[in-house]
Structures are given as C-alpha cells and as structure tokens.
Amino acid sequence: MKDELRQLVPGLRRFAYSLTGSIPEADDLLQGTLERVLRQSPPAGVAIEPWAFRICRNLWVDECRARQVRDRAAQQPELTDGQVVDGERATTSQIELDQVNAAMAGLRDSQREIISLVAIQGMSYREVSDTLDIPKGTVMSRLARARAALSAALGSTPQDTTTPDSESGRRPT
C-alpha cells in the first residue's frame, strides 16, 4: 500500500493546501492523513484514492473547522466587534492570505472541497461522489456554485497584492 500511497502524496498535499490555505497546515494535515491511512486498509472494494482523500477531508473538517470559522469571521469586520482589519495590526494570519486563499476561504466547506477535488485533483464527478459519499447531482450543483463564487471573487480585483481593507475582492455571495 505504501507504494500506492506514495503516488497519491503530491495530490493529497495539493488538496490539503487548497483546504487549509497554508503550507505548514497542509503538511500537518497531510501527515495526519497518511498516519490514519497507514493504520487501516480501505474496506474491501474501495479504491485507495477516494478513500485517502476522504480521510484527508474528514480530518480537515474535524480539526480545522473551528479555525475556519474564526478566520472567516476575521474577514468580515462587522463580526469582529469593531476591530479594524488593518494590515499593520494584523491579528490573524488569514489577513496575509493572498487573493486566492481568501477567495477559497470565503466558500462553504462543502463547495471548497469539491472544487478542489475537481479543479486541482482532476477527479470526475463519479470519483468525487465516491470520495465524499454524496450524489452526483449534488456534486454538480455545488461545484457550479463554487466556480461562480470564485469567479466573482477573483475576477473583480487587480492581480497584485491585497491591500488591508480591500477584503481581497470578496463580494457578498
């Protein structure tokens, strides 16, 4: 299994990066995923790729969701008790996220994981459906919403650096 797993590592790592938006967190998530994967074989008839990606995603949901909520709050100044989001006094590393990370962080988790599996890992809808255990129709609709939201978030601002109070081009979705 280790050989197959080794093949999956680059994809798992990029997936982890797309979910966490941070390289150190991605590597932590990757390690946690590999440890879990190595601890038990997939059930009979389940291919290792969807299974490994599912484990990664579940681990992310378990361990990072709380952090995601805090970070999303930080991007919406009205939710942070009047704390001014100012680059000079950045209180969370999310402020330093570049535009892409910020846009991804603005998605719902359920959209973020799907767009990542399709756009970065290149999974088919069937494979995404197997990995996340959701119907193909749900994959299709969430994916479309994710693409539309990201297109709006990414398409409307200049390519270069975010300024502290531009909110990285996020629009209300």
Partner 1 sequence: MNLTDEQLSAFLDAELPEAEMQVIRDQLANDPALAERLAALAAVDHTLAGHYSAIDQQPLPAAVTELLDPEPAASAKVVDLPRWRRARAFVQQRVGTAVAAALVLGFGLAQLGKDVPVSGEQGWHQVAQALEVLPSGETQILATGERLTPRLTFANPAGEFCRQFQLQGPDRATENIACRSGEPGMNWTQVATVKVPKRDANRYQTASGGSVLDAVLDRMIEGEVMNPTREQELLSEGWRHR
Closest by CA to 146, choosing from 114, 98, 105, 101, is: 114
Question: Is residue 109 a contact point for partner 1 (CB under 8 A)?
Answer: no
State yes or no: residue 169 binds partner 1 (CB under 8 A): no
> Does 132 help bind partner 1 (rule: CB under 8 A)?
no
Instruction: Choose, by CB under 8 A, the member of 124, 161, 163, 173 that binds partner 1.
Output: 124
Structural contact between residues 132 and 114, judged by C-beta atoms closer than 8 angstroms: yes
Stretch that binds partner 1, among 27-35, 48-56, 88-96, 160-168 (CB under 8 A): 27-35
Q: Long-range CB contacts (< 8 A, 24+ apart) of 123-128?
A: 123/53, 127/49, 127/50
- Map the footprint of partner 1 across residues 6-25, applying CB under 8 A: 6, 9-10, 13-14, 17-18, 23
Residues 88, 164 contacting (CB under 8 angstroms):
yes
Express the helix, strand and coil content of the chain in percent, nearest 5 each.
70, 0, 30
Binding residues for partner 1, rule: CB under 8 A, are 2, 5-6, 9-10, 13-14, 17-18, 23, 26-27, 30-31, 34-35, 38, 100-101, 104, 115-116, 118-120, 124-125, 140-141, 143-145, 147-148, 150-151, 154-155
